[in-house]
Protein backbone atom coordinates (compact mmCIF):
# COMPACT_ATOMS: atom_id res chain seq x y z
CA UNK A 1 0.00 0.00 0.00
CA UNK A 2 1.39 3.43 -0.87
CA UNK A 3 1.05 6.48 1.33
CA UNK A 4 0.21 10.02 0.31
CA UNK A 5 2.91 12.65 0.91
CA UNK A 6 1.85 16.03 2.25
CA UNK A 7 2.08 18.85 -0.30
CA UNK A 8 2.00 22.58 0.56
CA UNK A 9 1.71 25.64 -1.67
CA UNK A 10 3.14 29.10 -0.97
CA UNK A 11 4.67 30.26 2.28
CA UNK A 12 4.50 27.94 5.31
CA UNK A 13 5.58 28.49 8.91
CA UNK A 14 6.84 25.84 11.35
CA UNK A 15 5.10 22.90 9.70
CA UNK A 16 5.95 19.55 11.34
CA UNK A 17 7.73 17.33 8.80
CA UNK A 18 7.02 13.58 8.56
CA UNK A 19 9.80 12.45 6.19
CA UNK A 20 13.54 13.04 6.03
CA UNK A 21 13.50 15.33 2.98
CA UNK A 22 11.49 18.02 1.23
CA UNK A 23 11.30 18.80 -2.48
CA UNK A 24 10.86 22.52 -3.06
CA UNK A 25 9.69 23.70 -6.50
CA UNK A 26 9.72 27.41 -7.29
CA UNK A 27 8.09 29.30 -10.13
CA UNK A 28 8.68 32.94 -11.04
CA UNK A 29 10.29 34.00 -7.77
CA UNK A 30 12.83 32.60 -5.33
CA UNK A 31 12.01 31.44 -1.78
CA UNK A 32 14.04 30.86 1.36
CA UNK A 33 13.71 27.95 3.77
CA UNK A 34 14.83 27.17 7.30
CA UNK A 35 14.49 24.08 9.50
CA UNK A 36 13.84 24.39 13.22
CA UNK A 37 15.05 21.50 15.37
CA UNK A 38 12.26 19.71 17.22
CA UNK A 39 13.93 18.31 20.35
CA UNK A 40 16.64 20.54 21.77
CA UNK A 41 16.34 19.37 25.38
CA UNK A 42 18.16 16.08 24.76
CA UNK A 43 20.48 17.27 22.00
CA UNK A 44 22.66 19.77 23.86
CA UNK A 45 22.42 22.09 20.85
CA UNK A 46 22.67 25.85 21.34
CA UNK A 47 21.08 26.87 18.01
CA UNK A 48 17.48 26.07 17.23
CA UNK A 49 17.94 25.75 13.45
CA UNK A 50 19.78 23.25 11.25
CA UNK A 51 21.16 25.88 8.87
CA UNK A 52 23.03 28.95 10.14
CA UNK A 53 21.12 31.18 7.68
CA UNK A 54 17.98 30.74 5.62
CA UNK A 55 18.79 28.97 2.34
CA UNK A 56 17.68 30.43 -1.02
CA UNK A 57 15.99 28.31 -3.68
CA UNK A 58 16.27 30.26 -6.96
CA UNK A 59 13.28 31.02 -9.19
CA UNK A 60 12.24 28.31 -11.66
CA UNK A 61 14.17 25.65 -9.78
CA UNK A 62 13.72 22.37 -7.89
CA UNK A 63 15.72 21.47 -4.79
CA UNK A 64 15.55 18.42 -2.52
CA UNK A 65 16.71 19.28 1.00
CA UNK A 66 17.15 17.57 4.38
CA UNK A 67 14.52 18.45 6.98
CA UNK A 68 14.36 15.44 9.32
CA UNK A 69 11.34 13.74 10.79
CA UNK A 70 9.70 15.78 13.53
CA UNK A 71 11.53 19.00 12.70
CA UNK A 72 9.71 22.13 11.55
CA UNK A 73 9.99 23.61 8.04
CA UNK A 74 9.44 27.29 7.24
CA UNK A 75 9.35 28.67 3.69
CA UNK A 76 9.27 32.41 3.05
CA UNK A 77 8.07 33.63 -0.32
CA UNK A 78 5.20 32.66 -2.55
CA UNK A 79 4.52 30.89 -5.80
CA UNK A 80 6.19 27.65 -4.69
CA UNK A 81 5.26 24.07 -3.81
CA UNK A 82 6.91 21.81 -1.25
CA UNK A 83 6.36 18.07 -0.85
CA UNK A 84 7.47 15.49 1.70
CA UNK A 85 9.84 12.96 0.08
CA UNK A 86 12.01 10.14 1.36
CA UNK A 87 11.29 7.93 4.33
CA UNK A 88 10.49 8.51 7.97
CA UNK A 89 13.11 6.10 9.33
CA UNK A 90 16.27 7.71 7.93
CA UNK A 91 15.21 11.13 9.19
CA UNK A 92 14.49 9.76 12.67
CA UNK A 93 17.95 8.25 12.90
CA UNK A 94 19.59 11.54 11.94
CA UNK A 95 17.69 13.53 14.56
CA UNK A 96 18.40 10.99 17.29
CA UNK A 97 22.11 11.26 16.48
CA UNK A 98 22.08 14.92 17.54
Is the pLDDT score of 20 beyond 50?
yes
User: Taking the model in full, what pTM does it have?
Assistant: 0.79
Inter-CA distances, 73 with 44, 61, 87, Å: 21, 18, 16
**Count of structural domains within the chain:** 1
Picking from 92, 73, 93, the residue whose alpha carbon sits closest to that of residue 83 is 73
Alpha-helical (H) ranges within 1-98 are 88-97
The count of other CB atoms within 10 Å of the CB of residue 67 is 27
Average pLDDT, the chain: 83
pLDDT of residue 74: 94
**Would 2 be classed as within a structural domain?**
no
* CATH number of domain containing 65: 2.60.290
Is the pLDDT score of 38 beyond 80?
no
Domain that holds residue 28: 7-97
**Would 1 be classed as within a structural domain?**
no
Amino acid sequence: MSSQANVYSGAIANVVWYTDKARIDTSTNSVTYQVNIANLANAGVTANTIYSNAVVVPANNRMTVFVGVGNFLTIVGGNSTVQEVGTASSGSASIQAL
